[in-house]
Structure 1
Amino acid sequence: MEALTEHTGTCVPLRRSDVDTDQIIPARHCRKLTKTGFADALFNRWREDPGFILNEPARSGASILVAGPNFGTGSSREHAVWALRDWGFRAVIAPSFGDIFLRNALRNGLLAVRLPQDAVDGLLDRAEASPSFALTVDLREQRVVDGGRNWPFDVAARARKLLLGGLDDIEVTLKSTEVIARYEEDRPRWMPRPSGGVR
Protein backbone atom coordinates (compact mmCIF):
# COMPACT_ATOMS: atom_id res chain seq x y z
CA MET A 1 0.00 0.00 0.00
CA GLU A 2 1.22 3.50 -0.76
CA ALA A 3 2.30 5.52 2.28
CA LEU A 4 0.23 8.59 3.09
CA THR A 5 2.02 11.37 4.94
CA GLU A 6 0.80 14.60 3.35
CA HIS A 7 -1.53 14.98 0.39
CA THR A 8 -2.55 18.06 -1.57
CA GLY A 9 -5.37 17.81 -4.07
CA THR A 10 -8.41 19.48 -5.54
CA CYS A 11 -11.79 18.80 -3.97
CA VAL A 12 -15.10 17.31 -5.05
CA PRO A 13 -17.99 18.68 -2.98
CA LEU A 14 -20.78 16.24 -2.16
CA ARG A 15 -23.29 18.20 -0.11
CA ARG A 16 -25.37 15.17 0.87
CA SER A 17 -25.81 13.62 4.28
CA ASP A 18 -26.31 9.96 5.22
CA VAL A 19 -24.64 8.68 2.05
CA ASP A 20 -24.66 4.92 2.52
CA THR A 21 -22.35 2.30 1.10
CA ASP A 22 -24.98 1.13 -1.40
CA GLN A 23 -25.09 4.65 -2.83
CA ILE A 24 -21.29 4.74 -2.95
CA ILE A 25 -21.25 1.43 -4.85
CA PRO A 26 -24.43 -0.56 -5.55
CA ALA A 27 -24.33 -4.20 -4.42
CA ARG A 28 -24.48 -5.57 -7.96
CA HIS A 29 -20.97 -4.19 -8.55
CA CYS A 30 -19.46 -5.94 -5.53
CA ARG A 31 -18.85 -9.37 -6.99
CA LYS A 32 -15.14 -9.08 -7.70
CA LEU A 33 -12.62 -10.10 -5.06
CA THR A 34 -9.90 -7.73 -6.22
CA LYS A 35 -9.42 -4.25 -4.75
CA THR A 36 -9.34 -2.58 -8.17
CA GLY A 37 -11.65 -2.14 -11.12
CA PHE A 38 -14.44 -0.31 -9.28
CA ALA A 39 -14.00 3.29 -10.47
CA ASP A 40 -16.83 3.02 -13.01
CA ALA A 41 -19.20 1.76 -10.31
CA LEU A 42 -18.54 4.65 -7.88
CA PHE A 43 -21.83 6.50 -7.25
CA ASN A 44 -23.14 4.53 -10.23
CA ARG A 45 -26.81 5.42 -9.91
CA TRP A 46 -26.15 9.10 -9.29
CA ARG A 47 -23.79 9.30 -12.25
CA GLU A 48 -26.73 8.51 -14.54
CA ASP A 49 -27.63 12.17 -13.95
CA PRO A 50 -25.48 14.21 -16.39
CA GLY A 51 -25.38 17.04 -13.84
CA PHE A 52 -23.87 14.91 -11.06
CA ILE A 53 -20.65 16.42 -9.75
CA LEU A 54 -18.35 13.54 -10.79
CA ASN A 55 -19.56 13.93 -14.39
CA GLU A 56 -18.14 17.44 -14.61
CA PRO A 57 -14.93 17.36 -16.69
CA ALA A 58 -13.44 20.11 -14.50
CA ARG A 59 -13.59 17.71 -11.52
CA SER A 60 -11.47 14.97 -13.12
CA GLY A 61 -8.28 14.39 -11.20
CA ALA A 62 -9.73 15.59 -7.90
CA SER A 63 -8.42 13.53 -4.99
CA ILE A 64 -10.23 14.86 -1.92
CA LEU A 65 -13.95 14.30 -1.37
CA VAL A 66 -15.75 16.73 0.95
CA ALA A 67 -19.08 15.29 2.09
CA GLY A 68 -21.96 15.80 4.51
CA PRO A 69 -22.47 14.07 7.87
CA ASN A 70 -22.78 10.30 8.32
CA PHE A 71 -20.84 9.48 5.17
CA GLY A 72 -20.48 5.73 4.59
CA THR A 73 -23.36 4.49 6.72
CA GLY A 74 -24.99 1.16 5.93
CA SER A 75 -23.60 -2.27 5.23
CA SER A 76 -20.05 -3.38 5.85
CA ARG A 77 -18.73 -3.07 2.32
CA GLU A 78 -15.00 -2.65 1.70
CA HIS A 79 -15.87 -2.21 -1.97
CA ALA A 80 -17.09 1.30 -1.12
CA VAL A 81 -13.57 2.24 -0.03
CA TRP A 82 -11.99 0.41 -2.96
CA ALA A 83 -14.22 2.31 -5.41
CA LEU A 84 -13.29 5.67 -3.87
CA ARG A 85 -9.59 4.78 -3.97
CA ASP A 86 -9.91 3.45 -7.52
CA TRP A 87 -11.46 6.74 -8.63
CA GLY A 88 -8.40 8.50 -7.22
CA PHE A 89 -9.56 9.81 -3.85
CA ARG A 90 -6.90 9.77 -1.13
CA ALA A 91 -9.00 11.47 1.55
CA VAL A 92 -12.64 12.03 2.49
CA ILE A 93 -13.53 14.93 4.78
CA ALA A 94 -16.89 14.92 6.57
CA PRO A 95 -18.36 15.82 9.97
CA SER A 96 -18.96 12.13 10.74
CA PHE A 97 -18.69 8.67 9.22
CA GLY A 98 -20.32 5.29 9.54
CA ASP A 99 -18.20 3.34 12.06
CA ILE A 100 -17.50 0.38 9.79
CA PHE A 101 -16.76 2.61 6.79
CA LEU A 102 -14.29 4.59 8.90
CA ARG A 103 -12.41 1.44 9.90
CA ASN A 104 -12.46 0.07 6.35
CA ALA A 105 -11.18 3.37 4.96
CA LEU A 106 -8.23 3.61 7.31
CA ARG A 107 -7.32 -0.06 6.72
CA ASN A 108 -7.34 0.42 2.96
CA GLY A 109 -5.32 3.60 2.53
CA LEU A 110 -8.17 6.13 2.40
CA LEU A 111 -7.81 8.85 5.03
CA ALA A 112 -11.20 9.64 6.58
CA VAL A 113 -11.01 13.03 8.29
CA ARG A 114 -13.66 14.28 10.73
CA LEU A 115 -13.97 18.07 10.96
CA PRO A 116 -16.63 20.21 12.65
CA GLN A 117 -19.79 20.84 10.62
CA ASP A 118 -19.07 24.56 10.21
CA ALA A 119 -15.59 23.85 8.84
CA VAL A 120 -16.98 21.29 6.38
CA ASP A 121 -19.71 23.71 5.30
CA GLY A 122 -17.06 26.32 4.52
CA LEU A 123 -15.00 23.83 2.53
CA LEU A 124 -18.10 22.72 0.62
CA ASP A 125 -18.85 26.36 -0.25
CA ARG A 126 -15.35 26.93 -1.59
CA ALA A 127 -15.22 23.62 -3.49
CA GLU A 128 -18.60 24.29 -5.10
CA ALA A 129 -17.45 27.76 -6.16
CA SER A 130 -14.25 26.57 -7.81
CA PRO A 131 -13.17 23.20 -9.27
CA SER A 132 -9.56 24.28 -8.70
CA PHE A 133 -10.05 24.65 -4.94
CA ALA A 134 -7.34 22.56 -3.25
CA LEU A 135 -6.55 21.46 0.29
CA THR A 136 -3.61 19.83 2.01
CA VAL A 137 -4.28 16.95 4.39
CA ASP A 138 -1.22 16.47 6.59
CA LEU A 139 -1.34 13.17 8.46
CA ARG A 140 1.99 13.75 10.24
CA GLU A 141 0.71 16.95 11.84
CA GLN A 142 -2.95 15.80 11.74
CA ARG A 143 -4.14 19.03 10.13
CA VAL A 144 -6.22 20.05 7.14
CA VAL A 145 -4.69 23.18 5.61
CA ASP A 146 -6.50 25.72 3.43
CA GLY A 147 -4.08 28.56 2.79
CA GLY A 148 -3.66 30.39 6.09
CA ARG A 149 -6.41 28.45 7.84
CA ASN A 150 -6.10 24.97 9.27
CA TRP A 151 -8.11 22.52 11.35
CA PRO A 152 -6.76 19.71 13.55
CA PHE A 153 -8.15 16.20 13.29
CA ASP A 154 -7.62 12.93 15.14
CA VAL A 155 -6.81 9.50 13.74
CA ALA A 156 -6.46 6.39 15.89
CA ALA A 157 -2.77 5.85 16.67
CA ARG A 158 -2.48 2.41 15.06
CA ALA A 159 -4.33 3.47 11.89
CA ARG A 160 -2.11 6.55 11.63
CA LYS A 161 1.04 4.45 11.99
CA LEU A 162 -0.08 2.03 9.27
CA LEU A 163 -1.05 4.84 6.87
CA LEU A 164 2.23 6.68 7.42
CA GLY A 165 4.13 3.44 6.78
CA GLY A 166 2.02 2.37 3.80
CA LEU A 167 1.13 -0.91 5.52
CA ASP A 168 -2.01 -2.97 5.86
CA ASP A 169 -2.71 -5.67 8.46
CA ILE A 170 -1.39 -8.45 6.21
CA GLU A 171 1.88 -6.61 5.57
CA VAL A 172 2.30 -6.07 9.32
CA THR A 173 1.79 -9.81 9.90
CA LEU A 174 4.28 -10.70 7.15
CA LYS A 175 6.95 -8.63 8.90
CA SER A 176 6.76 -11.23 11.71
CA THR A 177 7.16 -14.30 9.50
CA GLU A 178 10.34 -15.44 11.26
CA VAL A 179 8.79 -15.07 14.73
CA ILE A 180 5.71 -16.99 13.61
CA ALA A 181 7.86 -19.75 12.08
CA ARG A 182 9.87 -20.12 15.32
CA TYR A 183 6.66 -20.30 17.33
CA GLU A 184 5.28 -23.00 15.03
CA GLU A 185 8.52 -24.98 15.26
CA ASP A 186 8.37 -24.96 19.06
CA ARG A 187 4.75 -26.07 19.27
CA PRO A 188 4.21 -29.73 20.20
CA ARG A 189 3.67 -31.83 17.06
CA TRP A 190 0.36 -33.21 18.32
CA MET A 191 -1.24 -29.73 18.29
CA PRO A 192 -3.30 -28.66 15.27
CA ARG A 193 -1.45 -26.77 12.55
CA PRO A 194 -2.61 -24.43 9.81
CA SER A 195 -2.79 -26.19 6.46
CA GLY A 196 0.42 -25.56 4.59
CA GLY A 197 2.14 -24.33 7.75
CA VAL A 198 4.30 -21.21 7.94
CA ARG A 199 7.36 -21.10 5.74
Structure 2
Amino acid sequence: MEKFEKLSGIAAPMPLVNIDTDMIIPKVFLKTIKRSGLGVNLFDEMRYDRQGNEIPDFVLNKPAYREAQILVAGDNFGCGSSREHAPWALADFGIKVVISTSFADIFFNNCFKNGMLPIVLPPEQVEVLMKDAEKGANARMEIDLEAQTVTASDGEVFHFEIDPFRKHCLLEGLDDIGLTLEKGAAIDTFEASASQARPWV
Protein backbone atom coordinates (compact mmCIF):
# COMPACT_ATOMS: atom_id res chain seq x y z
CA MET A 1 0.00 0.00 0.00
CA GLU A 2 1.32 3.46 -0.90
CA LYS A 3 2.08 5.96 1.84
CA PHE A 4 -0.37 8.84 2.18
CA GLU A 5 1.15 12.08 3.42
CA LYS A 6 -0.01 15.09 1.40
CA LEU A 7 -2.25 15.52 -1.62
CA SER A 8 -2.94 18.51 -3.82
CA GLY A 9 -5.66 17.68 -6.29
CA ILE A 10 -8.88 18.47 -8.09
CA ALA A 11 -12.03 17.92 -6.05
CA ALA A 12 -15.27 16.79 -7.66
CA PRO A 13 -18.58 17.84 -6.09
CA MET A 14 -21.22 15.12 -5.50
CA PRO A 15 -23.86 16.65 -3.23
CA LEU A 16 -26.19 13.64 -3.35
CA VAL A 17 -26.99 12.12 0.05
CA ASN A 18 -27.06 8.38 0.79
CA ILE A 19 -24.81 7.37 -2.10
CA ASP A 20 -24.73 3.63 -1.53
CA THR A 21 -22.18 1.03 -2.56
CA ASP A 22 -24.40 -0.23 -5.39
CA MET A 23 -24.36 3.26 -6.89
CA ILE A 24 -20.58 3.40 -6.46
CA ILE A 25 -20.06 0.01 -8.16
CA PRO A 26 -23.17 -1.93 -9.30
CA LYS A 27 -23.39 -5.60 -8.28
CA VAL A 28 -22.99 -6.81 -11.87
CA PHE A 29 -19.30 -5.85 -11.66
CA LEU A 30 -18.56 -7.80 -8.46
CA LYS A 31 -17.39 -10.97 -10.20
CA THR A 32 -13.73 -10.06 -9.92
CA ILE A 33 -11.48 -10.31 -6.87
CA LYS A 34 -8.90 -7.99 -8.44
CA ARG A 35 -8.58 -4.44 -7.14
CA SER A 36 -7.69 -3.08 -10.58
CA GLY A 37 -9.95 -2.45 -13.56
CA LEU A 38 -13.04 -1.33 -11.63
CA GLY A 39 -12.50 2.41 -12.11
CA VAL A 40 -14.09 2.38 -15.56
CA ASN A 41 -17.36 1.20 -13.96
CA LEU A 42 -17.32 3.62 -11.03
CA PHE A 43 -20.81 5.15 -10.69
CA ASP A 44 -21.69 3.15 -13.82
CA GLU A 45 -25.45 3.72 -13.81
CA MET A 46 -25.05 7.48 -13.36
CA ARG A 47 -22.08 7.77 -15.68
CA TYR A 48 -23.32 5.90 -18.77
CA ASP A 49 -26.58 5.54 -20.66
CA ARG A 50 -28.03 2.15 -21.66
CA GLN A 51 -25.95 2.13 -24.84
CA GLY A 52 -22.76 2.60 -22.84
CA ASN A 53 -22.24 6.21 -23.87
CA GLU A 54 -21.04 8.74 -21.33
CA ILE A 55 -23.69 11.05 -19.88
CA PRO A 56 -22.11 14.50 -20.35
CA ASP A 57 -23.79 16.06 -17.31
CA PHE A 58 -22.37 13.55 -14.83
CA VAL A 59 -19.63 15.25 -12.86
CA LEU A 60 -16.81 12.78 -13.49
CA ASN A 61 -17.51 12.89 -17.25
CA LYS A 62 -16.91 16.63 -17.35
CA PRO A 63 -13.43 17.61 -18.60
CA ALA A 64 -12.71 19.59 -15.42
CA TYR A 65 -13.14 16.53 -13.20
CA ARG A 66 -11.76 13.60 -15.19
CA GLU A 67 -8.55 13.77 -13.15
CA ALA A 68 -10.26 14.32 -9.79
CA GLN A 69 -8.52 12.79 -6.79
CA ILE A 70 -10.86 14.17 -4.14
CA LEU A 71 -14.61 13.68 -3.83
CA VAL A 72 -16.75 16.08 -1.79
CA ALA A 73 -19.95 14.14 -1.12
CA GLY A 74 -23.31 14.38 0.60
CA ASP A 75 -24.23 12.83 3.93
CA ASN A 76 -24.04 9.06 4.65
CA PHE A 77 -21.63 8.21 1.84
CA GLY A 78 -20.99 4.51 1.22
CA CYS A 79 -24.12 3.13 2.83
CA GLY A 80 -25.70 -0.14 1.67
CA SER A 81 -23.84 -3.43 1.32
CA SER A 82 -20.39 -4.13 2.73
CA ARG A 83 -18.71 -4.71 -0.66
CA GLU A 84 -15.03 -3.80 -0.60
CA HIS A 85 -15.24 -3.29 -4.36
CA ALA A 86 -16.60 0.21 -3.66
CA PRO A 87 -13.32 1.67 -2.36
CA TRP A 88 -11.48 -0.46 -4.94
CA ALA A 89 -13.43 1.25 -7.75
CA LEU A 90 -12.89 4.73 -6.31
CA ALA A 91 -9.17 4.11 -5.86
CA ASP A 92 -8.80 2.61 -9.34
CA PHE A 93 -10.41 5.72 -10.83
CA GLY A 94 -7.89 7.84 -8.92
CA ILE A 95 -9.90 9.04 -5.93
CA LYS A 96 -7.69 9.17 -2.83
CA VAL A 97 -9.85 11.27 -0.48
CA VAL A 98 -13.60 11.43 0.15
CA ILE A 99 -14.96 14.29 2.26
CA SER A 100 -18.44 14.07 3.76
CA THR A 101 -20.43 14.83 6.89
CA SER A 102 -20.74 11.09 7.60
CA PHE A 103 -19.91 7.64 6.21
CA ALA A 104 -21.34 4.16 6.59
CA ASP A 105 -19.14 2.32 9.11
CA ILE A 106 -18.06 -0.60 6.92
CA PHE A 107 -17.24 1.60 3.94
CA PHE A 108 -15.34 3.97 6.24
CA ASN A 109 -13.21 1.10 7.57
CA ASN A 110 -12.64 -0.35 4.10
CA CYS A 111 -11.26 2.99 2.88
CA PHE A 112 -8.41 2.89 5.37
CA LYS A 113 -7.62 -0.73 4.49
CA ASN A 114 -7.20 0.33 0.86
CA GLY A 115 -5.08 3.43 1.36
CA MET A 116 -7.90 5.96 1.00
CA LEU A 117 -8.63 8.77 3.42
CA PRO A 118 -12.28 9.40 4.38
CA ILE A 119 -12.61 12.80 6.08
CA VAL A 120 -15.57 13.74 8.26
CA LEU A 121 -16.31 17.45 8.64
CA PRO A 122 -19.29 19.46 9.93
CA PRO A 123 -22.04 20.29 7.39
CA GLU A 124 -21.13 23.97 7.15
CA GLN A 125 -17.51 23.13 6.32
CA VAL A 126 -18.48 20.50 3.75
CA GLU A 127 -20.77 23.08 2.15
CA VAL A 128 -17.84 25.50 1.79
CA LEU A 129 -15.70 22.77 0.21
CA MET A 130 -18.56 21.68 -2.04
CA LYS A 131 -18.84 25.20 -3.44
CA ASP A 132 -15.06 25.31 -3.82
CA ALA A 133 -15.13 22.03 -5.77
CA GLU A 134 -17.77 23.48 -8.09
CA LYS A 135 -15.18 25.95 -9.37
CA GLY A 136 -13.61 23.20 -11.48
CA ALA A 137 -10.06 22.15 -12.26
CA ASN A 138 -8.51 25.48 -11.31
CA ALA A 139 -9.64 25.08 -7.68
CA ARG A 140 -7.25 22.58 -6.15
CA MET A 141 -7.61 21.43 -2.57
CA GLU A 142 -4.73 20.36 -0.37
CA ILE A 143 -4.90 17.53 2.15
CA ASP A 144 -2.20 17.26 4.81
CA LEU A 145 -2.60 14.07 6.80
CA GLU A 146 0.19 14.82 9.27
CA ALA A 147 -1.34 18.21 10.12
CA GLN A 148 -4.89 16.83 9.70
CA THR A 149 -5.98 19.75 7.54
CA VAL A 150 -7.96 20.40 4.37
CA THR A 151 -7.06 23.64 2.63
CA ALA A 152 -9.53 25.11 0.12
CA SER A 153 -8.36 26.83 -3.05
CA ASP A 154 -8.72 30.26 -1.40
CA GLY A 155 -6.49 29.24 1.50
CA GLU A 156 -9.21 28.57 4.08
CA VAL A 157 -8.12 25.73 6.36
CA PHE A 158 -10.30 23.09 8.04
CA HIS A 159 -9.04 20.65 10.66
CA PHE A 160 -10.28 17.05 10.74
CA GLU A 161 -10.05 14.29 13.35
CA ILE A 162 -8.62 10.85 12.68
CA ASP A 163 -7.85 7.82 14.83
CA PRO A 164 -4.09 7.87 15.62
CA PHE A 165 -3.61 4.22 14.63
CA ARG A 166 -5.32 4.69 11.27
CA LYS A 167 -3.30 7.85 10.69
CA HIS A 168 -0.09 5.91 11.40
CA CYS A 169 -1.07 3.15 8.97
CA LEU A 170 -1.79 5.59 6.13
CA LEU A 171 1.37 7.62 6.73
CA GLU A 172 3.47 4.44 6.70
CA GLY A 173 1.54 2.69 3.93
CA LEU A 174 0.58 -0.25 6.12
CA ASP A 175 -2.37 -2.49 5.35
CA ASP A 176 -3.20 -5.62 7.41
CA ILE A 177 -0.43 -7.60 5.71
CA GLY A 178 2.08 -4.80 6.21
CA LEU A 179 1.21 -4.61 9.91
CA THR A 180 1.79 -8.34 10.25
CA LEU A 181 5.14 -8.16 8.43
CA GLU A 182 6.27 -5.45 10.86
CA LYS A 183 6.16 -8.17 13.53
CA GLY A 184 8.19 -10.58 11.39
CA ALA A 185 11.14 -10.88 13.80
CA ALA A 186 8.85 -11.54 16.77
CA ILE A 187 6.90 -14.13 14.78
CA ASP A 188 10.13 -15.91 13.76
CA THR A 189 11.32 -15.94 17.38
CA PHE A 190 8.03 -17.37 18.58
CA GLU A 191 7.99 -20.07 15.90
CA ALA A 192 11.56 -21.11 16.73
CA SER A 193 10.74 -21.26 20.45
CA ALA A 194 7.51 -23.15 19.83
CA SER A 195 9.29 -25.63 17.58
CA GLN A 196 11.82 -26.41 20.31
CA ALA A 197 9.18 -26.68 23.02
CA ARG A 198 6.81 -28.83 20.92
CA PRO A 199 8.86 -30.60 18.23
CA TRP A 200 6.01 -33.03 17.60
CA VAL A 201 3.73 -30.28 16.27
TM over 0.5: yes
- Unaligned runs of 5+ residues in structure 1 are 192-199
Residue 190 of structure 1 deviates from its aligned partner by 4.6
Distance 2:180 2:135 in 1: 45
RMSD over equivalenced CA pairs, Å: 1.3
Greater displacement, 174-183 / 63-72: 174-183
Alignment of 1:20-169 (within 5 A): 20-48=20-48, 49-146=55-152, 147-169=154-176
Distance 1:120 1:98 in 2: 17
- Deviation beyond 3 Å, 4+ runs, structure 1: none
Distance 2:12 2:119 in 1: 15
Distance 1:16 1:190 in 2: 60
Distance 1:18 1:190 in 2: 56
Q: TM-score, normalised by structure 1?
A: 0.91
2:188 aligned with 1:181: yes
Amino acid in the other structure paired with 1:171: G
Amino acid in the other structure paired with 1:140: E
SS of aligned partner of 1:92:
strand
Deviations along 1:64-112, one digit per CA (max 9) or x if unpaired, are 1000010011111111101111111110111110111111001111100
Distance 2:40 2:177 in 1: 27
Alignment size in residue pairs: 191
Give the share of equivalent positions with the same residue, in percent: 40
Distance 1:177 1:130 in 2: 46
- Unaligned runs of 5+ residues in structure 2 are 49-54
Distance 2:136 2:189 in 1: 57
Distance 1:117 1:21 in 2: 22
Distance 1:28 1:178 in 2: 43
Q: TM-score, normalised by structure 2?
A: 0.90
SS of aligned partner of 2:170:
helix
